[in-house]
């Protein structure tokens, strides 16, 4: 007998089953986010913004007010909402392309200004929706549609380490972390901390989440997990890089 999974209250059931590919990490991230929203009881005052790319498939994912923006422009739209209605909890959801490439200008400056928004960036080392092109976080040697012979760092630089540079440029009060879909409880904890940081009015909060894309990686289940855990997590260290909360985490 099929048992329906327990879904967060803040999920919008009419849009399920969702449109992400089998094996995609987005479903896991959005579940952690949904559980955090429920736990913090902010469903009614959350505004959720998504980028263009696979993240756009989350535009009707939550039973929260949501707005789909342009590629790379989720950050400024969330900033505009937060600056004009500070009582709302703004969550910007984007991929590694939207955040570290076309949207990097906005991400960097929002961080420097310590904007009180929460941004969640799902890093699967490629541009998924457009068919698997190279992204800022593509690993050296990794083959993609626009690096068919493997990424050459001499030509195209090394993968962007977003949380590391954001931790450098943000003032006190910011929360910067990197999580992975392979460690769900930690992911949920980091996302909850990031939201808590906004609720408490401390400052900018950002969580990069290492995630999977078997469709464009062209990997089977085993290969997918291996790439995530053995390669990505080695290159991009997981943990909290900056946090106003102590060891116990946010309350």
Partner 1 sequence: MRNVIEGSKKAFITGNEAVAWATLVAEADIMFGYPITPQNEVMHYWTRLAPKHGRGFLQTEDEISAGFTVCGAVQAGKKAFTATAGPGNVLMQEPFGMAEAMRLPLVAIIQQRGGPSSGTVIYSQQEVTLTTFGGNGEGHRVVYSTATHQEMYDYTIKAFNTAWKYRFPTFVLGDGYQAKMREPLDMYNPADKGIKMVKPYPLVGLDGQIGENREPQHLNNIYSLEEELYDAVLEFVKDYEAMTPDVTEYSADQCEDADIIILSHGVVSRAADDAVKILRSQGIKAGSFRPITLRPFPSQELRNVISNSNAKTLLIAESAYGQLDRLVKQEIYGETVNIENLFMPGVGIIDYDIANKVKSIL
Partner 2 sequence: MSLVKIALAGEGGQGVQSVAEIIAEAAYNEKKQTIYIPNFGLEQRGGVSIAFIQVSDERIGAPKFNKADVVVALSARAIGRTNIYSDENTLFVYDQGFKVNEDEFPKEAKKIIGIPAIDKANQELHPRVFNVIIMGAVIGLTNVVSFEAAKDALENKLGHKFEKNPNLRELNYKALEIGLQLAEESLKEGVAK
Among 28, 32, 42, 54, binds partner 2 (CB under 8 A): 54
Residue 207 partner contact from partner 1, partner 2, none using kind-dependent CB cut-offs of 5 to 8 Å: none
Interacting span for partner 2 (CB under 8 A) from 15-23, 106-114, 139-147, 235-243: 15-23
Among residues 51, 135, 32, the alpha carbon closest in space to that of 92 is found at 51
Q: How far is CA 156 from the centre of its chain?
A: 23
Nearer to partner 1, 80 or 171 (CB): 80
> How far is 187 from 242, CA to CA, in rounded Å?
15
> 196: part of which helix (H) or strand (E)?
helix 184-199
Q: How far is CA 87 from the centre of its chain?
A: 22
Residue 22 partner contact from partner 2, partner 1, none using kind-dependent CB cut-offs of 5 to 8 Å: partner 2
Q: Can you give the binding site for partner 1, defined by CB under 8 A?
A: 12, 43-45, 47, 49, 52, 56, 59-60, 62-70, 73, 76-85, 88, 105-106, 108-109
Q: Which long-range contacts (CB under 8 A, 24 or more apart) does 181-189 make?
A: 181/25, 181/28, 181/29, 181/209, 181/210, 181/211, 181/212, 181/228, 182/210, 182/225, 182/228, 182/229, 182/233, 183/238, 184/28, 184/32, 186/238, 187/28, 187/29, 187/32, 188/32, 188/35, 188/36, 189/249
Q: What is the C-alpha radius of gyration for the chain, rounded to an integer number of angstroms?
A: 17
Among 12, 19, 156, 235, binds partner 2 (CB under 8 A): 19
As to burial, measured by CB atoms within 10 angstroms (0-12 exposed, 13-18 middle, 19+ buried), residue 61 is buried
56 is a site residue for partner 2 (CB under 8 A): yes
Interacting span for partner 2 (CB under 8 A) from 53-61, 95-103, 185-193, 219-227: 53-61
Nearer to partner 2, 56 or 134 (CB): 56
Tell me how far, at minimum, the Cβ of 192 lies from partner 1, in Å.
20
Nearer to partner 2, 54 or 111 (CB): 54
Nearer to partner 1, 45 or 143 (CB): 45
Tell me how far, at minimum, the Cβ of 79 lies from partner 1, in Å.
5
Enumerate residues 196-215 that contact partner 2 by CB under 8 A.
215
Nearer to partner 2, 11 or 20 (CB): 20
Enumerate residues 63-82 that contact partner 2 by CB under 8 A.
none
169 is a site residue for partner 2 (CB under 8 A): no
Q: Is the peptide bond before 17 cis (omega within 30 degrees of 0)?
A: yes
Tokens of residue 42, six digits: 């902010």
Name the site residues for partner 2 (rule: CB under 8 A): 19-22, 54, 56-57, 128-129, 131, 215-216
């Amino acid at each position: 007998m099929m048992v329906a999974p327990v879904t967060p209250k803040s999920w919008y059931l009419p849009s399920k089953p969702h449109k992400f590919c089998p094996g995609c990490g987005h479903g896991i991230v959005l579940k952690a986010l949904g559980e955090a929203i429920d736990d913090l009881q902010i469903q009614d005052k959350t505004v959720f913004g998504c980028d263009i790319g696979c993240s756009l498939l989350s535009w009707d994912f939550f039973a929260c007010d949501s707005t789909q923006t342009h590629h790379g422009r989720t950050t400024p739209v969330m900033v505009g909402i937060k600056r004009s209605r500070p009582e709302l909890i703004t969550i910007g959801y984007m991929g590694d392309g939207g955040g570290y490439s076309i949207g990097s200008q906005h991400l960097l400056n929002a961080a420097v200004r310590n904007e009180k928004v929460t941004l969640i960036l799902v890093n699967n080392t490629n541009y998924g929706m457009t068919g698997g092109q190279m992204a800022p976080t593509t690993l050296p040697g990794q083959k993609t549609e626009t690096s068919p012979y493997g990424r050459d760092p001499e030509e195209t630089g090394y993968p962007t380490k977003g949380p590391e540079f954001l931790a450098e440029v943000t003032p006190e009060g910011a929360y910067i972390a990197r999580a992975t879909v392979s460690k769900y409880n930690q992911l949920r904890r980091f996302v909850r901390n990031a939201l808590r940081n906004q609720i408490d009015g401390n400052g900018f909060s950002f969580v990069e989440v290492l995630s999977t894309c078997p469709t464009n990686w062209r990997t089977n289940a085993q290969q997918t997990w291996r790439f995530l855990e053995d390669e990505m997590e080695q290159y991009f260290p997981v943990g909290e890089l900056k946090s106003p909360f102590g060891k116990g985490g946010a309350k």
